[in-house]
Amino acid sequence: MNFKTVAEAFNYYRTKTIQEIEARAKAIESEIAGNPNLEMASVNIELDGLREAKLNLEERGKAQEKLKDWNPITGASFAGTVEIPKGDDIYSAKEYRTAFFKNLLGQELLEGEKAIFEAAKAQTEKRANVFNTQANAASVIPTHTLNEIISKARTMGGLISVARNFAIPANLSVPIGTPSTKAQWHAEGAAVETEKADVSNVKFSAYELIKIFSLSVSSKRMSIDAFESYLVTELTHCIMAAIEESLVNGTGTGQGTGVLSGVTWDTSNSFTFTAAPAYADLTKLIGMLKRGYNNGASFAVNNATLYNRLYGLVDANNRPIFIQNAQTDNVAYVLGKPVIVDDYLPDDTILFGNFSYMGYNLPDGVLVEVSRESSFTKGLVDYRGLAIADTKPLVTEAFVKLSKK
């Protein structure tokens, strides 16, 4: 064929296969050898077009190979060697998050996803040793997902929204600083006495939480984002809710310790009312809290106590002491102090204190196992969430209590 420009030849051959292009190039080679009077200008145009068309096809082939290994969820490419993070950082990787949820949904993993998921197993086995579980079946929930669970739990209100979150090894004593005296004005040359820091040591125990929930086998077709959203909601409403209840009512036997059982209540930090609390009772309660904890202190009551006992209280000048925040309906104030509503508290119990001195510990995050055999006859897939957790008052002197006699 006679082409007038290289572009014309390229456009013609770009729709051909590489084999057809190579066959035409060999045919031209034979034409040149057999015809010494051949017009070479036209031949060179065609050869240049053939070369560019072949290069274009080769580049397209490479791009398609890369696309096969491209992950549209994370934007990561799994072609070639995957750089696997060290230690617990592996659970923060986007690639691990995708592999984790694909494994739970029973979807096929790409080669790079398989590599990072297998590498995570060694770390998972270390954590799984503290659980009553099969190490080769459990997977540690991705860091991003765990943070979403904790963040969502804090929006539930209650003491968990203000308590400290720890992720330290169980049975390890941790020093917790308490408020100290203020600095002194110093006269030049005068000696200043040293002050020993007042530190409270806290040891979190290892108690196991477990939750089993089921999904239809058709959940395999769910998207990763949709399944993650479901898992976050489910684990927030079961595991984190159990921790929230333990912060209040935990007995310390086989479970965490709550503020009601973890503080020794006596006349130094608690008193009672007979029929209903009075304005003077609340001012007395605030006055009982030791110095240093008042900054950041809050009231904690359940919803019934808030509206039945505190809502209608007035001061000596007949002014209401309960004030609803006009901008955020979920935050109210009594005598200028925020009110935390926690329905795990019993009726007619009013706590006042600095609840940042309550803490809960999740040392190993959450492990998730999947079983496709246990509910085979029902057409369901079972998921089991496990967590090692503990709750504890970090400093018992940071709380005072008013309750009905």
Q: Which of 8-12, 37-41, 328-332 has the lowest mean pLDDT?
A: 328-332
Contact 12, 1 (CB under 8 A): yes
pLDDT digits (tens, 9 = 90+) for 255-306: 999 999 999 999 999 999 998 899 999 999 999 998 889 888 999 999 999 9
Segment 221-246 mean pLDDT:
87
Q: What is the per-residue pLDDT for 365?
A: 83
Q: Report the C-alpha gap between 117 and 11 in whole angstroms.
A: 45
Residues whose CB is less than 8 angstroms from the CB of residue 400 and which lie 6 or more positions away in sequence, other chains included: 269, 270, 285, 288, 289, 351, 352, 353
Q: Which of 21-25, 129-133, 210-214, 321-325 has the lowest mean pLDDT?
A: 129-133
The percent of residues in the chain predicted with pLDDT above 70, rounded, is 85
- DSSP assigned state of 85: P
Q: Report the C-alpha gap between 15 and 57 in whole angstroms.
A: 9
Model confidence band, residue 355 (pLDDT cutoffs 50, 70, 90): very high
Q: What is the per-residue pLDDT for 182?
A: 60
Q: Which of 244-248, 326-330, 388-392, 399-403 has the lowest mean pLDDT?
A: 326-330
Residue 362 has pLDDT above 60, yes or no: yes
Q: Domain coordinates of the chain in residue numbers? A: 6-68, 87-140, 259-360+396-404
Residue 340 has pLDDT above 80, yes or no: yes
Residue 237 has pLDDT above 90, yes or no: no
Q: What is the per-residue pLDDT for 134?
A: 46
Model confidence band, residue 135 (pLDDT cutoffs 50, 70, 90): very low
Q: What is the per-residue pLDDT for 195?
A: 58
From 3.30.1120, 3.40.50, 3.30.2320, 3.40.1570, which CATH number describes the 259-360+396-404 domain?
A: 3.30.2320
Q: Which of 45-49, 246-250, 350-354, 376-380 has the lowest mean pLDDT?
A: 376-380
Please identify which residue in the block is written with the tokens 């999904």.
215
Find which of 11-25, 114-128, 231-245, 261-275 is predicted with most confidence, using mean pLDDT. 261-275
Q: Which of 1-5, 49-53, 163-167, 381-385 has the lowest mean pLDDT?
A: 1-5
Q: What is the per-residue pLDDT for 254?
A: 92
Contact 240, 149 (CB under 8 A): yes
Q: What is the per-residue pLDDT for 125?
A: 63
Model confidence band, residue 353 (pLDDT cutoffs 50, 70, 90): very high
Closest listed residue to residue 375, CA positions, set 154, 219, 232, 170: 219
Residue 249 has pLDDT above 90, yes or no: yes
Q: Report the C-alpha gap between 164 and 140 in whole angstroms.
A: 22
